[in-house]
Amino acid sequence: MTENPSALRRWMVSGPEISNVNEFEESMKFKTGDELSNAKHHDEIQSTQLAFAKDVDALVVAIKSMGKPFEEEIQDLLILDSKDIADPKVVMTVKQVEALGDEQFQTFITERLINREKPLSPSN
C-alpha cells in the first residue's frame, strides 16, 4: 500500500471515515430487553431532573419576591427579575405588536398575492 501513492491516499482519506461508520454501527446494534429497560432519555437522568427542579424553585422564588403584580395599581411595565420599569418605547412596542404584525401581514398579502407587485420570495 505504501508503494502505491493512489492506494495510500485512499487509505488516508477513508480510514477515519470507516472507523466512524464502525462506531455508528456499534451504537445502533439491537439491544436486549434488559438494555432497553435500563435505557433512559437524557432528560430522565437524575442530575438533569435535579438541575431542572432547582431552576424551577429559583423562578418561583423570584416571582414570589415580586409580590402580586395584578394587585398593584401601577400602569408601568416591570421587568420581572430586576423590578426596573421598562422603557416607554418598549411598552409601546409591546402594546402595538399584534396590530403591527397584522398590518405587515396584510401588506405582504396585498403586494404579493393580490396586486402581484413583488415576488413571493426574495430573488438572490
- pLDDT tens digit string along 7-30? 777 777 776 676 666 676 666 666
pLDDT of residue 110: 94
Written as nine digits, the cell of 53 is 427542579
- 10: Cβ contacts below 8 Å, ≥ 6 apart: none
Query: How many angstroms separate the CA atoms of 40 and 44, rounded?
Result: 6
**Chunked mean pLDDT (size 10), the chain, 124 residues:** 72 70 66 59 80 89 73 68 78 87 94 90 70
Q: What is the mean pLDDT of the chain?
A: 77
Contact present, 42 and 36 (Cβ < 8 Å): no
Contacts of 2 (CB under 8 A, 6+ apart): 8
- In this prediction, what percent of the chain has a pLDDT beyond 90? 19
